[in-house]
Structure formats: C-alpha cells, structure tokens
A and B are shown apart, each in its own frame.
Chain A
C-alpha cells in the first residue's frame, strides 16, 4: 500500500517536471500542438481510489502546474474536472462484471482498445476544458477545436509510448 502511494507520487512529480522543463518547450506547428502529458499520472491512478481523494490529488497536481505556468487556477480547474469525470468514464467503459481488484488502467491489464478509448475520452475532455478556458472567447472556436484535437492526439501518442516504457508486458510478471 505504502509502496503504491510512493510509486504514484514519484511518477506524478516526475511527469510535472518533464512537462514543465521539456515538453512545454516543444514547438510543433507554431504551438498548435502542445501535449499536456502530466495528466498521465492521474489516468494511471488505481480504479479503487476514493472519489474525494481523487479530487484532492487533482487539485494538488493542478496547483503545482499553475505554479510553473502563468495563469494561476487554469490547470487546477481543468485537473479538477478531469478528477471528477474520470470515475464516470471508468464506469461507462467497465466490463459487464466490473473491474477486478488486480486490474489497473493500463494497456497490459485492460487491453489496447480499452486503454485507447479510456485515455482519448479523458484527454480530449481535459484539453477542451483547459484550452477553451484559457482562450475564453468563442471567436476562434474552430481554431481552438483544431488545437484541442491535435494536442489530444499528441498527448495520447506520448502516453501510449509511456505505457510500454513503464509497464512490463504480462509475460515477464509470471
């Protein structure tokens, strides 16, 4: 239990630093594509995390991100939204008999198609909330939508690569 908490905390801190010091400097298509990979740490939280705890974790991560970037409150708000809808999306995508205690929201545990659906829905919703709140006007609606879509796809690709880097395939665990 303590090991799990430590593992998740370290992963989240690492992802925040990676986001702020490396990924934010990526300049693809004049900033049209900017992946927000720090949400990977939230997506990987176990299924049985209590919902109130989830909200407070997301609040903390959001504040950390805001400390690094310019508009205070922006990431906090988007992360909270993510923390609120994540269990709902998990419930929506659940297999008929529910999740087992050993299952984790990873490619290795749930399969690639489940993972892609899960990660894409959440990434897209998070990015939509984040980018529309930042721009806060509808005059550039379609431009922002393109920004959201391209960034979500970039985030998804990076997170899926991350999955294969972090988690060992099942056969090794035996």
Chain B
C-alpha cells in the first residue's frame, strides 16, 4: 500500500496528464466522425455574439463590394418582374387552385463566422430557431450550393458547408443527367470531388454539375460547379472527378436558407414503404 502511494506521488504529473488527455481525445473522436457534431459551440450564444460583433466590423470595411453584389442581384430580380413580360395567351388565367403547392420556402441570413482552412469547416449564421431556422435546412448563396444546417440555438445556426469532410450530397451531371455523390477531399476551398460516376458515362472537362434534388435538402438544379479534371484509372470502373465549386466561400456574406416543406411527408412515406416491404434499402 505504501509503495503504491509512493508510486502515485512520484508519477502524479503523468497521471494527471493521462487522465485529462484521454478526456480530450474522447471529445475529439466523438466529434470527428459524426455529421451532427454534438458540441459544436460556435453557435452558442456568447461566442456567437462575439463573432457577430467582429463580422459587423469586417462588413463595414467592405460595404462597397456588398453594394455591388446586391445591385447585381437587384437587376436580375427586376428582370423577372411581371411588367417586363407580355401575356402570350389570353385564354389562360391563373387561378389560385390546387395545381401548384409550395414546396421550398426561403429565408435570408447573414454569415457571422466562416472558416475555410480546416478539415472540418463550419459557418455560423445570425438566425436561429426564433427566426424559423431548423436542423437539416439547405443553405444556398446566389443560386449555388453552400451546405446544410446542423445545429441551431435561439439566435444562431451552424452550417456544415461543402468544405467539410463529412459532407455528402447527391448531384447531377447536366449533360448526361447521371447521378453522383459530391464530397470534399481536396482540402482546397475552391475544389471538390465526385467519385462514383461510372465509366460508360461521357464526362468532359467543363461539364456543369447541378444538385439533383434527391437529397431533399436542396432544390433540384442549383448550381454546384463545373468539371476541371477527370482521372481515369485503368483498374477501376469509376471516374475520379474534380470540380470547381461555383460558390465563392471566401466571399460568403448573405445566404439563403431553404426549407423543404414536403420533406417530412416524403420521409414518412419512404419509411412506411421500407417497413411494409421489410427491407433496409429504399
């Protein structure tokens, strides 16, 4: 007994180190491999407030650039005004009926914090559940893909962008309408990968890549990027494709949150079908 106490006394620094280090490593590995990082805290209110103050200051310094962006968007929107169009066929009139049902709902938010250089990047937005943001909402910016919401607090939301090693979403090659899975292994904020396009598909450099809408988070045909490199390994039956992302993550400022109103209904039906057929795969 005395010897054990003596030993503990001699090794107490190392033991403290070991206990704390094991605790820290458990936290790291718990958070590293899951989509829904349980303790992503830059969305928590104190840190969120500090970051939004900093973002305000930084925003002030580039107001000119923001004004340019907004005026460009204004002009695009103005072009869509109904006064710019003549009615082609007077026999039709729009009746508020059940033919059309709203599927996607949009909400704008401002980026208060944004990381680019890590393996696991996150974006913090200045809207939380008090403004109607919920988990799993898609995030787009100027018509191109950004990511989806993973954590929400009262006034802030944390987004997992394309630039995160756990990010996956279904995409579509515009020319061939073949489906692929978008992931990010390049470590570079301007490029991402698509690894499961089979070789019988004709892929060219410069081909446009769009969202497929199958993931349920993003509306279909949102711009993702274009192909910059196609690697064709002889011993594999799939291409390794690198694409250039159309979103400029460095300049992200205002984003739109997309809510798929029909998603719960779709998921419930798919779940029901799976249970009825006794399979795990839809």
Contact = CB atoms under 8 A, between A and B. Distances in A.
Interface of A: 20-21, 24-25, 27, 30-31, 34, 51-52, 55-56, 59, 62, 66-74, 76-77, 80-81, 83-84, 133-136, 140, 143
Interface of B: 12-14, 16-17, 20-21, 23-32, 37, 39-42, 44, 47, 50, 54, 58, 115-122, 187-189, 250
A62 B20 CA distance: 11
B31 A55 contact: no
Contacts of B28: 71-74, 77, 133
Q: Interface on chain A toward B: helix, strand, loop, or mixed SS?
A: helix
Nearest to A22: B54
B20 to A, nearest CB: 5
A55 B32 contact: no
Contact of A77 (B13, B21, B44, B54): B21
B32 A136 contact: yes
29 contacts: A24-B115, A25-B58, A27-B117, A30-B117, A31-B117, A31-B189, A51-B13, A55-B20, A67-B41, A67-B42, A67-B44, A68-B47, A69-B118, A70-B37, A70-B115, A70-B118, A70-B120, A70-B122, A71-B28, A71-B31, A72-B40, A73-B25, A76-B20, A77-B28, A80-B24, A134-B119, A134-B120, A135-B119, A143-B187
A84 B28 CA distance: 19
Looking at B16, B24, B32, the one whose CB has the most chain A CB atoms below 10 A away is B24
A31 B24 contact: no
Contacts of A21: 50, 54
Contacts of B26: 73
A66 B115 CA distance: 14
Given A52-B13, A80-B21, A140-B187, A73 B31 contact: yes
Nearest to B54: A21
Given A67-B41, A67-B47, A73-B25, A34 B117 contact: yes
A84 B116 CA distance: 31
A56 B12 CA distance: 13
A77 B28 CA distance: 8
Contacts of B120: 70-71, 134
A72 B90 CA distance: 62
Contacts of B50: 20-21
Nearest to A81: B21
B101 to A, nearest CB: 38
A81 B192 CA distance: 34
A72 B27 contact: yes
B13 to A, nearest CB: 4
Given A76-B27, A134-B119, A71 B20 contact: no
A154 to B, nearest CB: 13
B122 to A, nearest CB: 5
A136 B28 CA distance: 11
Nearest to A24: B115
B24 A77 contact: yes
A84 B12 CA distance: 12
A136 B29 CA distance: 10
Nearest to A26: B117
A80 B20 contact: yes
Contacts of A77: 21, 24-25, 28
Contacts of A52: 12-13, 16
A120 to B, nearest CB: 23
A51 B122 CA distance: 35
Contacts of B118: 69-71, 134
A74 B202 CA distance: 43
B88 to A, nearest CB: 50
A66 B37 CA distance: 13
A52 B11 CA distance: 11
A29 to B, nearest CB: 10
